[in-house]
Structures are given as C-alpha cells and as structure tokens.
C-alpha cells in the first residue's frame, strides 16, 4: 500500500512536471510564432500594412488585423500562405520554411486563454 | 499542375539530378512537390502562367553549394533560373522564362557580409531583403541611406541586377554596384573589378579594375550566378527638402519636363524627379468600382471626381533636395524660378533636418504599400509594367504620353503612367492593373503590351526591363546591323555556357541548342 502511494505520488509529480514543461513549450512556441509573424508577415499584416488595409476593405475592419482575429485555424493559415489568396502571392518554403509557418499558424490561432495571459 | 520537364531531359535523368541536388543541399531544400511548383509561378501572371512553369526549385545556403549544383546541372543538362528573393513582381516574379527550368532560389544566402560606414558601401548576398538591410543599418545606428524601390519586398541585390530604381540621389541602383562575386556556368568562381586581386582593399571602392569591366555583363544576363554584390550607400545628409506640385492638365507634363530637365542635367537636382498621373494615388486609396463600373476606360468626368475627392491634379510632380541646409535653400530658389516661367502655382515644401523623425526625410524606407494598387480591380490582383526609355525633352515625353494614353483608351483600360527624369533620359513606367482571373482583362493587357512594344520600337525607344513573356520581342527591337548585339550576346553565351544550363531565354538570350525553338 505504501509502495502504491509512493508510486501514485511519483506519477502525480511527473505529470505536473510534464504539464509544466508542455506549458513552457507552448509559451516558447507562441513567443517564437509572434516573433516570426512580425518578421515575415509584418511588412503587410501589422497596423498600417497593405495586407491589413486590403483585408479591411474586403472583410471589414474587425477582420483586418490578423493578430486580433479569433476565427483562424492552423490548416487554413498554412493553405493561404502556400496557395496565396486575393492579392497575396503564395509563399514558398525557402522564404518561409514549414517549421516557421507552423509556429506562425500556432500563434495566429492561439486560444483566448493565451491571449489574455499576454499583455 | 502537371510536372513539365526541361526540354530533352528524361524523367529518370531529372529525378537523378534532383537526388544529386539533395545530396548537396539536403532533401529539405529541394522543392519539388506540386505545391512547391505552384509557389514559384508568376504571382501576377497575365493569363500566361502556363508558359513559365518551373519543374522544381533548389535552395543552396553557400557559394560552394551553388557551385556543386551548377556542376550537377551541367552533367544532367538541367536548366537553372537563379532568383534572389523572387519578388520581381510585374516582370514575372520568381517564374522562369522557359517551362521546365529549375528555380535556383538564393534566398537562404542572406548574409550582410560588410557595411563600411567610412566609405559608404555594403557587401551583400542575394537573399538580403530591403527590410533586412534597413533594420541592420537602423539597429546598428549606421548613418547610411539605402535606395529603395516602390515595392520593397524583394532583394537588394536582385533589384540592382534587374536595373531597379529608387528615389534618392543613389536611385540608379545598378549604377551603384561596385564589385561582384559570380559563379560561372562551369562552376568556377570569379570576382570582378579589383576583387580579382586576392588582397585588394578597393573591391567596393573602384568599379573598373583593369582591362574589361565585367559587373554590368552580369546584370540582366544569363552569363553567371551572382553570389555577392558590393553596393554603394549614401551618407546621411544634413537635411532634405521635398518640393511637390499638382498639375491640372494632361498636357502640363510637357512643360514640367522642360523645366526640370536642365536642373537635373546640371546637378541642381541630384535625385530623379517623378511626374506621375494621379490614378496612382487613387489606386492605393480606393477601388475602381467605387467610382465606375463600366468596362471601358474611366471617362474624364469620373476621373475629375476622383481627383477632386483626393485633392489631386492630373499629374503630381515630386522631387527632393539632399545636402546642406544653405545649398538646398539656394537650389530650391533656382527650381522655383524655373517653374515660375510656366505656372503661378507654388510648390508645397517639406523640410527634414538630421535628428527629425526619419519617416519624413526622403531616406529609402522600405514599404510594400505600393502593392495596394493591385486591388484596383479587386479579385486576384496583378500588375505588369511597360517601361520605355526616352530622351528627356518635352517633345519626346508629350508624344509618348499622348500615344500611350490613346492606346490604353482604344483597348478599354485606365491610363496609368509616370515619367522619371534622369540626367539625360526619362523612364516612362506604364502600369496595367488587372484581376488575374478575369480572362477578358488579361487578354486586353497582353494585346496592349504588344502594341506598346511595337509603337515604342518605331520611335526607337527601348524598354529598360520587361516581363518574361516579352523578353524575345524587346530583344528583337535592338536591330542595328541585323541584330548584331544579340549575336554578340549569343556568342558569349555559347562560350561561357556550352550546355545552355543558365536561365535560357533571359532577356532574349537563348543557348545554341534551344535557339529558334519554341520552348
């Protein structure tokens, strides 16, 4: 019984550590995704950018700034970046490797909880 | 999109070449899926995307990898289309001239190798973008200014190699190249100018070297793969002064050129003043359907409404003085006096002094805002530019303006043009904007382009740069002595690139095996 309790405690501690590691990973991914979004997409998609302007005209001002959108999912983002959409040309894997696109997609589709915890 | 193989290359040999490329750069950087091929098509195609389909792309990280790829390409007779960042938008983007060509994407070679503040130069790899260099200069507080084109998404090196222009006194980008490193079609590396000495401290200082000077031979050409470029940067001036004026009538462009040309020739104005029609501004700030829904060109009455809304004239003249306060003040007086002979209007003046926010300075600040114009007709927007060079006189400019505008209207499009003055010549950029999925409008664009090339050739005007689909036509207009310049280019091509692997058809220069064939 005692052994069982020790085992359960160890499992609990391990789960906590894993969860906290996963949280740390997620936070790092979001941070890196944000940095990459600004570096690779920011020319057009930050405030005042040509992409923001075009999206505002086509979809309305509430959908113009990609960072503020809550209706984007990773697969859609990956598809749009590789296929292009409207006046946005496709982006190849040299200018934006899959590993970087994945992080940008994670960042833009982050859940509300991740948005609230960040300033 | 089906795979198009290079001419005379079997599927087996092609695959062997891709495997060999992967051995050099790693499998990750051989881009050969259907999606990959799609990403290298001309992003602004004029209904001609099928004529310029790449078979794959390969992305080296170093000059040694470029050499290894070139050797493999020779072995398997695989044509390569080098791009720096592939943003030659309006001229074919990242797509190759000939379908089946493998794009050699140099975007991963993106090191800023040197910035020299004392002498005002940088040494760059092809993958360095305008934003990258701008951020580097700003973050390191280096007081050197860049020359930046209207759309600054692309590569600094790539733009200079395609003879792009900026708006500062260093605006002739190709003219400010000083020293290159080039991989020849046989895989050998050369350095031009004094870079050919192993210990020269002057590679980025003295353009010519000794004997024939090669830099410009590798510009807009298919004789080598440029892997490093020295480029002069402008020392930050003490102050700048912008002068702008709106001109009310279409014919005013004539006297404006007459007033400006002597000032540009004598160096009173050291950058290149532009005179652009106001549709350029309207297309950034609005869409055509907000003003007019008809198929033909917007009637003059509608255009006047647009101009009134944005408080614009038919043309906008913009120029800027760079230098010392006192000198700029004197030069501004000379310019005002020159204009006073033709108009009672005053210039709108803006002044910047070192230490003021750089946004208002007239420095080369990268932006992609100009790309907004492709939304003029909505849909999947695109643009293409027809860009002849004329003598800097009102006679030539007015004649070209009237003739081009008439052609736009005959074919049913909105005239969209600008004239930029250099010391002795004017570049005349004529933009055509379209929805790529509207077959009727892209057909009009192709027809208009062809007519404009023919019209210009009759007047003896060449283009300084053109879209992939018109490279042969424009090369053909250089017809002195039964096209002896083209024969010279072909002789050099065959000597340097006997297997014809490098950018077949670029600027109308085809390798022997493909010459005269429709590929």
Indicate yes or no: CB of B57 within 8 angstroms of CB of A92.
Answer: yes
The model scores a pTM over 0.90: yes
Are the CB atoms for B384 and B248 separated by under 8 Å? Answer: no
Which residues of chain A lie closer than 8 angstroms to B85, CB-CB? Answer: 95
What value does the mean pLDDT take over residues A42-61? Answer: 92
The confidence score (pLDDT) of residue B481 equals 98
The confidence score (pLDDT) of residue B378 equals 87
Mutate to test the interface with B, among A54, A92, A100 (most CBs of B within 10 A): A92
Percentage of chain B lying above the pLDDT 90 cut: 93
Rounded CA separation B126/B226 (Å): 8
A91 touches chain B (CB under 8 A): yes
Neighbours of B188 (CB within 10 A): 12
Question: Residue A95 above 80 pLDDT?
Answer: yes
The helix or strand, by DSSP H or E, that contains position B245, with its residue range, turns out to be strand B239-247
Indicate yes or no: CB of A94 within 8 angstroms of CB of B59.
Answer: yes
Question: Residue B245 above 70 pLDDT?
Answer: yes
Q: Is B91 a catalytic residue?
A: yes
Indicate yes or no: CB of A84 within 8 angstroms of CB of B375.
Answer: no
Among A57, A87, A94, whose Cβ lies nearest the Cβ of B380?
A: A87
In three-state form (DSSP H/G/I as H, E/B as E, the rest C), the secondary structure along B202-236 is: CCCCCCCCCCCCCHHHHCCCCCCEEEEEEEECEEC
Among B41, B131, B380, whose Cβ lies nearest the Cβ of A43?
A: B131
The confidence score (pLDDT) of residue A45 equals 96
Rounded CA separation B390/B396 (Å): 7
B183 and B171 in one domain? Answer: yes
Which residues of chain B lie closer than 8 angstroms to A57, CB-CB? Answer: 287, 375
Q: What's the token pair of residue B27?
A: 């499998």
| A114 or B321, greater pLDDT | B321
B439 and B293 in one domain? Answer: yes
In a domain, B3, yes or no: no
B210 and B121 in one domain? Answer: yes
Question: Residue B294 above 60 pLDDT?
Answer: yes
Rounded CA separation B5/B53 (Å): 10
B278 and B314 in one domain? Answer: yes
In a domain, B503, yes or no: yes
The catalytic residue among B288, B416, B465, B470 is B465
The helix or strand, by DSSP H or E, that contains position B240, with its residue range, turns out to be strand B239-247
Unique residue bearing structure tokens 């030069």: B331
Residue B103's Cβ-count burial label (10 Å; 0-12, 13-18, 19+) is buried
A12 touches chain B (CB under 8 A): no
B141 and B32 in one domain? Answer: no
The catalytic residue among B165, B322, B415, B464 is B464
Residue of A nearest to B433 (CA): A87
Range of the domain at B98: 11-107
Q: Residue B55's domain is classified under what CATH number?
A: 3.30.43.10
B267 and B227 in one domain? Answer: no
Question: Domains of chain A by range and CATH?
Answer: 28-116 (1.10.760.10)
In a domain, B2, yes or no: no
| B244 or B283, greater pLDDT | B244
Which residues of chain A lie closer than 8 angstroms to B57, CB-CB? Answer: 92, 94
Question: Residue A74 above 60 pLDDT?
Answer: yes
Among A44, A92, A97, whose Cβ lies nearest the Cβ of B39?
A: A92
The confidence score (pLDDT) of residue A119 equals 45
Question: Residue A9 above 70 pLDDT?
Answer: no
Give CA torsion, residues B254, B255, B256, B260, to 10 deg. 110
The confidence score (pLDDT) of residue A64 equals 96
According to DSSP, the β-strands at B102-105 and B56-58 are parallel
Q: What's the token pair of residue B164?
A: 């792009």
Q: What's the token pair of residue B258?
A: 């007459």
Per residue in B474-486, pLDDT (tens digit) is 999 999 999 999 9
DSSP code string of B96-150:
-SSTTPEEEEGGG---EEEEETTTTEEEE-TT-BHHHHHHHHHHTT--EE----S
In a domain, B413, yes or no: yes
A82 touches chain B (CB under 8 A): yes
Mean of the per-residue pLDDT values of chain A: 86
In a domain, B36, yes or no: yes
Rg (CA), chain B: 23
Rounded CA separation B53/B508 (Å): 17
B448 and B314 in one domain? Answer: yes
A35 touches chain B (CB under 8 A): no
Q: Residue B193's domain is classified under what CATH number?
A: 3.30.465.10
B169 and B261 in one domain? Answer: no
Residue B1's Cβ-count burial label (10 Å; 0-12, 13-18, 19+) is exposed
B299 touches chain A (CB under 8 A): no
Residues in a beta bridge with B429: B418
B217 and B182 in one domain? Answer: yes
ipTM field = 0.92
Indicate yes or no: CB of B371 within 8 angstroms of CB of A87.
Answer: yes
Our CA angle for B263, B264, B266, nearest 5°, is 65
A90 touches chain B (CB under 8 A): yes
CA B380 vs. chain centroid, Å, equals 22
Q: Is B497 helix (H, G, I), strand (E, B) or coil?
A: coil
Q: Which of B235, B257, B289 delimits the end of a domain?
A: B235
The helix or strand, by DSSP H or E, that contains position B179, with its residue range, turns out to be strand B177-183
According to DSSP, the β-strands at B348-353 and B381-386 are unpaired
Rounded CA separation A5/B16 (Å): 61
B454 and B412 in one domain? Answer: yes
B407 and B266 in one domain? Answer: yes
Q: Which of B235, B257, B272 delimits the end of a domain?
A: B235
CA distance B131 to chain A (A): 8
Q: Is B82 helix (H, G, I), strand (E, B) or coil?
A: strand
Look at residues B504, B374, B365, B476 and name the one whose alpha carbon lies nearest to residue B431. B374
What value does the mean pLDDT take over residues B11-22? Answer: 98
B441 and B386 in one domain? Answer: yes
In a domain, B6, yes or no: no
The catalytic residue among B37, B40, B85, B91 is B91
Among A57, A87, A95, whose Cβ lies nearest the Cβ of B85?
A: A95
Question: Residue A23 above 80 pLDDT?
Answer: no
Model confidence at A87, pLDDT cuts 50, 70, 90, reads confident
Q: What is the DSSP letter of B347?
A: P
Tell me phi and psi for residue B322, to 5 degrees. Answer: -125, 130
Indicate yes or no: CB of A50 within 8 angstroms of CB of B38.
Answer: no
Are the CB atoms for B487 and B420 separated by under 8 Å? Answer: no
Q: Is B342 a catalytic residue?
A: no
Q: Residue B251's domain is classified under what CATH number?
A: 3.40.462.10
Are the CB atoms for B40 and B54 separated by under 8 Å? Answer: yes
Q: What is the DSSP letter of B289?
A: G
What value does the mean pLDDT take over residues B412-433? Answer: 96
Percentage of chain B lying above the pLDDT 70 cut: 100
Which residues of chain B lie closer than 8 angstroms to A35, CB-CB? Answer: none
Rounded CA separation B99/B11 (Å): 15
Domain count of the fold of chain B? 4
Rounded CA separation B324/B241 (Å): 10
In a domain, B44, yes or no: yes
In a domain, B5, yes or no: no
Unique residue bearing structure tokens 């505008």: B405
CA distance B440 to chain A (A): 18
Are the CB atoms for B509 and B494 separated by under 8 Å? Answer: no
Q: Residue B480's domain is classified under what CATH number?
A: 1.10.45.10
Residues in a beta bridge with B348: B244
Question: Residue B307 above 70 pLDDT?
Answer: yes
Q: Which of B107, B142, B172 delimits the end of a domain?
A: B107
Model confidence at A13, pLDDT cuts 50, 70, 90, reads low
- Alpha helical stretches, state H, B241-393: 252-265, 279-285, 300-310, 325-340
């Amino acid at each position: 019984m005692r052994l069982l309790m020790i085992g359960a405690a160890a499992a609990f501690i391990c789960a906590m550590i894993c969860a906290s590691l996963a949280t740390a990973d997620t936070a790092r991914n979001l941070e890196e995704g944000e940095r990459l979004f600004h570096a690779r997409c920011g020319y057009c998609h930050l405030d005042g950018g040509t992409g923001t302007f075009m999206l505002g005209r086509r979809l309305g001002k509430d959908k113009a700034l990609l960072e503020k959108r809550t209706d984007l999912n990773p697969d859609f983002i990956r598809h749009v970046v590789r296929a292009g959409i409207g006046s946005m040309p496709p982006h190849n894997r040299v200018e934006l490797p899959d590993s970087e696109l994945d992080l940008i997609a994670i960042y833009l589709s982050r859940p509300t909880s991740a948005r609230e915890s960040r300033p | 999109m089906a795979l198009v193989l290079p001419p005379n290359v079997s599927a087996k040999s092609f695959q062997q070449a891709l495997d060999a490329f992967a051995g050099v750069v790693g499998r990750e950087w051989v881009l050969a899926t259907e999606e990959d091929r799609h990403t290298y098509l001309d992003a602004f195609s004029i209904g001609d995307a099928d004529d310029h389909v790449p078979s794959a792309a390969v992305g080296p990280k170093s000059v040694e990898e470029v050499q290894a790829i070139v050797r493999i390409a020779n072995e398997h007779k695989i044509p390569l289309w080098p791009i720096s960042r592939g943003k030659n938008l309006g001229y074919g983007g990242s797509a190759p001239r000939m379908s089946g060509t493998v794009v050699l994407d140099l975007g991963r070679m993106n090191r800023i190798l040197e910035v020299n503040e004392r002498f005002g130069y940088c040494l760059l790899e092809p993958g360095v973008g305008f934003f990258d260099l701008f951020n580097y200069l700003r973050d390191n507080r280096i007081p050197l200014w860049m020359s930046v084109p209207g759309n600054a998404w692309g590569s600094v090196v790539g733009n200079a190699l395609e003879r792009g222009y900026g708006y500062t006194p260093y605006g002739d980008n190709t003219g400010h190249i000083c020293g290159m490193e080039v991989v020849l079609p046989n895989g050998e590396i050369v350095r031009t100018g004094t870079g050919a000495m192993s210990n020269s401290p002057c590679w980025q200082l003295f353009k010519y070297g000794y004997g024939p000077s090669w830099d410009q031979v590798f510009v807009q050409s298919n004789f080598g793969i440029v892997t490093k470029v020295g480029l002069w940067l402008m020392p930050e001036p003490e102050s700048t002064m912008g002068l702008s004026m709106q001109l009310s009538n279409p014919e005013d462009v004539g006297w404006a050129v007459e007033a400006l040309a002597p000032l540009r020739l004598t160096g009173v104005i050291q950058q290149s003043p532009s005179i652009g029609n106001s549709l350029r501004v309207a297309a950034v700030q609005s869409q055509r359907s907000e003003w007019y829904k008809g198929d033909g060109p917007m009637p003059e009455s509608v255009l006047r409404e647009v101009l009134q809304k944005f408080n614009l004239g038919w043309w906008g003249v913009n120029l800027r003085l760079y230098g010392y306060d006192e000198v700029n003040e004197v030069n501004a007086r000379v310019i005002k006096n020159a204009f006073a002979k033709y108009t009672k209007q005053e210039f709108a003046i803006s002044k910047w002094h070192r230490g003021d926010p750089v946004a208002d300075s007239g420095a080369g600040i990268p932006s992609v805002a100009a790309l907004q114009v492709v939304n003029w007709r909505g849909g999947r927007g695109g643009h293409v530019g027809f860009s002849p060079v004329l003598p800097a006189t009102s006679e030539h400019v007015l004649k070209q303006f009237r003739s081009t505008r008439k052609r736009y209207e005959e074919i049913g499009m909105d005239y969209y043009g600008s004239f930029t003055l250099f010391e002795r010549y004017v570049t005349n950029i004529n933009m055509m904007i379209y929805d790529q999925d509207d077959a009727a409008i892209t057909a009009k664009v192709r027809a208009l382009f062809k007519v404009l090339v023919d019209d210009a050739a009759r007047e003896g005007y060449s283009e300084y740069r053109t879209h992939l689909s018109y490279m042969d036509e424009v090369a053909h207009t250089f017809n002195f002595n039964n096209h002896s310049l083209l024969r010279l280019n072909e002789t050099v091509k065959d000597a340097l690139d006997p297997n014809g692997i490098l950018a077949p058809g670029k600027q109308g220069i085809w390798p022997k095996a493909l010459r005269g064939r429709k590929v």
